[in-house]
């Protein structure tokens, strides 16, 4: 099972990575000059690229004058305070409130992932140094956690009491402790749990692509000293045919995923279609499913996020970052 878990998660992460063609804490606020639209019954706002407090950092793709792929906001997250954007090129985390961006913390420009905790605290992962920086709900630095015990980190999450967790391509989760009580490397590896996310009852969730090309969301009992003998399949929810799936978050018994399917058109060219799907695992049914547009000028490392009852999606264009949100039926508020 583990090999298949790795396959579907790693393919999803690789497909996203291949798409990269392309103020001080408590700082100033600025209007975005955004436009609103409807996207599959969701609400969308576009935030322009720009150097002011109301704009987001963006670097165009490689040309004769510049080097490298297009760069912009690498991660979006949602929490108690609303939608948050990692505006790495401007060295900040910004909260999106209606049409307004508010800087909530200054972060290193190499930050590439963002996670929000249940109390409004947040954390960013650094790409050039194996560490996660943690901040309080007010944006005040709360310390750092060393993540070098795990060689490749796909995503991070932040739990209660500033507990930092990281997921790898095998859909395994590691607990690194908090800045005030970090775990030793041996403890991190010994405490590995199966699952990219978890339900309130403790089951781990994994996305699987079967030998027949079917995508499934499976919940399995987490490995632990008391539960090792109970390990086994708890629930399976069918998601249909596809090429890859990735779990992006949970809230109560609801989990949301990004689904991708690669097909060939009449000319033989590869065509990728993408969807977001939210599943009530306890009820065994899909509660929200919506098509996602094709990748924009680049693919953010974390383009889709879910928490509470809100699903958020970020798509960059030449003019700005379009942020779309949906309310998910049955999810905890």
- pLDDT value for 67: 60
User: DSSP character for 110?
Assistant: T
- Where the chain has pLDDT below 70, the residues are 1-41, 62-68, 222-234
Res 229: pLDDT: 45
Chain center to CA of 53: 24
The whole domain housing 133 covers 2-327
- Do the Cβ atoms of 321 and 89 come closer than 8 Å? no
Q: What is the pLDDT of residue 187?
A: 97
Q: From the CB of residue 70, how many other CB atoms can be counted at a distance below 10 Å? A: 20
CB 113 within 8 A of CB 86: yes
* β-bridge partners, 220: 204, 233
Domain CATH for 236: 2.120.10
Evaluate whether residue 332 is within a structural domain. Answer: no
256 with 328: CB under 8 angstroms? yes
Q: Is residue 243 part of a domain?
A: yes
Where do we find the tokens 């991708």? 260
pLDDT of residue 232: 52
Beta bridge partners of 207: 217
Does residue 333 lie within any of the structural domains?
no
**Model pTM score:** 0.84
Spell out a b/e string for 258-289, using b for 16 or more CB atoms within 10 Å of the CB, else e. bbbbeeeeeeeeeeeebbbbbbbbeeeebebe
Nearest to 234 by CA among 219, 215, 247, 250: 219
Q: Would 147 be classed as within a structural domain?
A: yes
Domain membership flag for residue 245? yes
Q: Tokens at residue 59, please? A: 């670097």
> Which pLDDT score is estimated for 297?
94
Domain count, the chain: 1
Cβ atoms 327, 309 nearer than 8 A: yes
Cβ within 8 Å of residue 113, ≥6 positions away:
74, 75, 86, 124, 125, 155, 156, 301, 302
Q: Is residue 166 part of a domain?
A: yes
pLDDT, residue 166, reads 98
């Amino acid at each position: 099972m583990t090999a298949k878990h790795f396959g579907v998660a790693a393919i999803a992460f690789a497909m996203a990575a291949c798409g990269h063609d392309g103020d001080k804490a408590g700082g100033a606020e600025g209007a975005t000059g955004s436009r609103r639209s409807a996207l599959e019954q969701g609400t969308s706002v576009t935030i322009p690229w720009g150097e002011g407090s109301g704009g987001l950092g963006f670097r165009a793709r490689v040309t004769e004058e510049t080097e490298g792929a297009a760069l912009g906001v690498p991660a979006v997250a949602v929490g108690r305070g609303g939608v948050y954007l990692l505006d790495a090129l401007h060295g900040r985390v910004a909260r999106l409130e209606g049409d307004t961006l508010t800087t909530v913390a200054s972060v290193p420009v190499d930050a590439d992932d963002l996670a929000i905790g249940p109390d409004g605290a947040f954390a960013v992962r650094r790409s050039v140094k194996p560490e996660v920086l943690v901040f309080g709900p007010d944006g005040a630095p709360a310390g750092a956690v060393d993540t070098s015990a795990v060689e490749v980190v796909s995503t991070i999450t932040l739990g209660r009491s500033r507990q930092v967790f990281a997921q790898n391509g095998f859909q395994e989760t590691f607990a690194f402790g908090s800045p005030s009580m970090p775990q030793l490397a041996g403890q991190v590896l010994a405490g590995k749990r199966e699952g990219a996310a978890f339900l309130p009852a403790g089951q781990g969730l994994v996305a699987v692509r079967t030998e027949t090309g079917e995508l499934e969301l499976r919940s399995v009992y987490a490995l632990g000293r008391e539960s090792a003998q109970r390990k086994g399949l708890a629930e399976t929810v069918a998601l249909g045919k596809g090429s890859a799936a990735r779990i992006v978050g949970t809230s109560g018994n609801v989990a949301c995923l990004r689904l991708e399917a690669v097909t060939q058109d009449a000319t033989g060219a590869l065509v990728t279609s993408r969807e977001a799907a939210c599943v009530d695992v306890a009820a065994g049914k899909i509660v929200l499913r919506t098509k996602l547009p094709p990748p924009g000028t680049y693919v953010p490392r974390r383009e889709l996020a879910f928490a509470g009852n809100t699903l958020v999606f970020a798509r960059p264009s030449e003019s700005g970052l379009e942020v779309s949100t949906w309310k998910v039926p049955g999810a905890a508020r």
